[in-house]
Amino acid sequence: MFFLTFEIYLVLIDMTYITIDTHKKQALLFLEYVKTLSFVTVHQEPNPTTLKAMDEVKKGKTKKHKNSKDLISFLKK
């Protein structure tokens, strides 16, 4: 199954990412509706930072942690 990821930016409030299965009619209708909203910008292509992160994952450059506590400790460094 193929998924497209769209970034939705809510200006000065929050940034949210959603994944829409574009093989479903209802999902396509939802996407068309979202595109009509004046406060939403839809980006269909990943930005350079996301592309770099995706490439690093493909190359196996990921960090593994035993549990959430280890992850939080790593992130605080």
The Cα 51–Cα 38 span in angstroms is: 27
> What pLDDT, on a 0 to 100 scale, did the predictor assign at position 20?
81
Question: Has residue 11 got a pLDDT over 70?
Answer: no
12-58 tens-digit pLDDT: 455 677 778 888 899 889 989 988 998 888 877 778 888 898 889 88
> What pLDDT, on a 0 to 100 scale, did the predictor assign at position 4?
54
Mean per-residue pLDDT, 49-76: 88
The residue ranges of every structural domain in the chain are 4-76
Torsion of CA 29, 16, 7, 28, to 10 degrees: -10
CA-to-CA dists, residue 50 to 36, 56, 58, 61, angstroms: 25, 10, 12, 14
> What pLDDT, on a 0 to 100 scale, did the predictor assign at position 1?
44
- Find, among 15, 20, 28, the residue nearest to 4 by Cα: 20
